[in-house]
Structure 1
Amino acid sequence: MPRQLDWSTLLFFLELARQGRLAPAARRLRVDHTTVSRRVAELEKALDLKLFDRTADGFALTEAGRTLMPHAEAMEAQVLAIADHCAAPGAGVSGRVRVASMEGIAAQYLARRLPRLVERHPGLTVELVTSPALFNLTKREADISLSFVPMRGPKLEIRRIGGFALFLYASPAYLAAHGTPEAPEDLAHHRFVDYVEDLVQIPEVHWLLDVVSSPQVCFRSSSMYAQATAAANGAGLVLLPSFAGETDPRLVPVLKPHVRTERPVYLAVHEDLAWVPRLRETVRFLEETLASDHRFLLEGAEE
């Protein structure tokens, strides 16, 4: 008969399963890699099962490990829920929530809105993390993801909660020097700011090609904010989401609304954690925020 399980040992199993390597799992758990190896070995001994195969790339779950995984995740969700429900009376929603998104959405939209969530729930700590690629919620790299492409992964709740439009912008100085385009066909005679092509990890971010088939690009950057700054300093025209272009006093819209494109916004959360109070409240806040900003995001109307 297997020995009684220690819940904390299952945490080591979960993190190694998600990360696939000792060092990243150890960093997440804030221990050294030998501790992770030892605790997983203890779990395998207690269950009398081999849970991982060692491969050239790290650790891969065995059939027994894959069977254990959903049960361990369900226990993790229950432990998180217990911690939330057993918080001090009157404390309200509290704890840490990590929201992941692309740099542009995070820095130029979410960072302006999420402080309202903290005002509503003072016990909440919001972590806003960015990456040019999608985060992996299955590996718990984040709790909630906002992106303009739907995430993929097991046991994820994914739904579209809004969208945003993109328009052309330029600095007054650039337009004074090169003329203001009066029609879309005039764009063939202008310079543009765009992403670095070989560093684009999500094809949908190369949105300039939606509105100009062969743009004459004179400046590229992997950062949306750097692109806006270059355009503000006369580099050329730049295609920006409404939430970035409309709030930048250095830029003015060009050919709006005749030249535009759109991207959806998808929210993803792991189904085992979606009902945890701090995540549920954060999801509700994000849905409400995008709904109330609908006109601003899609039309570029003043807030």
Structure 2
Amino acid sequence: MFFVSAGFNVTLDVFQTDLNLLIAVTLVAMIGKIAGTALFYLPSGFGWREGLAVGTGMNGRGAVEIIIAGIGLQMGIITAEIFSILVFMAIFTTLTVPVLLTWTTNWLKKRGELVHQETRDGYLILGANPLGIYMAEKLKAANKLTLVDSNRELVAIARKKGFNTVYGNILKEETMEEANALELGTFIALTGNSEINLLAAQLAGDLFYIPKKIVTVSPNEAGADVDLLDPINASSMFADKTNLTPWFQKISSNQFQEKIVGVETELTAREWIKENRDEQNPILAVFILNTEEELRAFHYKEIISPGEKVVFLQ
């Protein structure tokens, strides 16, 4: 309703009577936003070119400028012509965003200065429980790794084993910050509470931009399901709904076997689970071992290539 009412005060006559002023205002607005962003970006140490790219992304103007101009028009501070110029300026600068942002991004890419989220490595594991410790022990050799838990006893055990472990509520930003979430590339939630796992994954993605989010989903918990994973761009750990309690008990009492089997043909993680499911002797697929002997988490969105191996517990 606001934009419709604002449109009634816009006049197209400015393209004939005040075209030069319209062009000047638009150019000043663009240069001020882009150059200003680049200038204040310099102290970050990432260079003025990246600052220009960020500035082109911020160049879009929408509701804020038009709202301020509307207030000025109602108070008689500006005329209908100036209001129209400001509205068209907001429209034109917004339209430049996809064009200029694409151009500056490609420019950075050609210079080798474009930073991708996927270049972030390391793991943030929610759950210093026996399974979390088991996975951390396997991954710590080649990766930065941090564990988070709200149980003081589990945190103390993990720290005693030499792991970087943070005590706190994972749903609080300060806990994520203490865990250096902005530097890590994969978030894995290994608690028995699916709702907490999903909310934590959403926080990890929305505020800390962790590109890969892997969540454990319980088979018998209401209110949290795999259908909620796609909206937050997450995947289900173990490629299946999993009750973790029996595995916590097996690992803590050392009543499990670790097995490794090779894969001869390409298949998805879900297909592998279907082919190897054993109701009498449940298995828990935890890792995929590639041809270079590197481990990665086994989850729903993984594709297992020929020559790779699956590490599972039984």
Q: Is the TM value for this pair above 0.5?
A: no
More helix by share: 2
Larger radius of gyration: 2
TM-score, normalising length: structure 1: 0.28
TM-score, normalising length: structure 2: 0.27
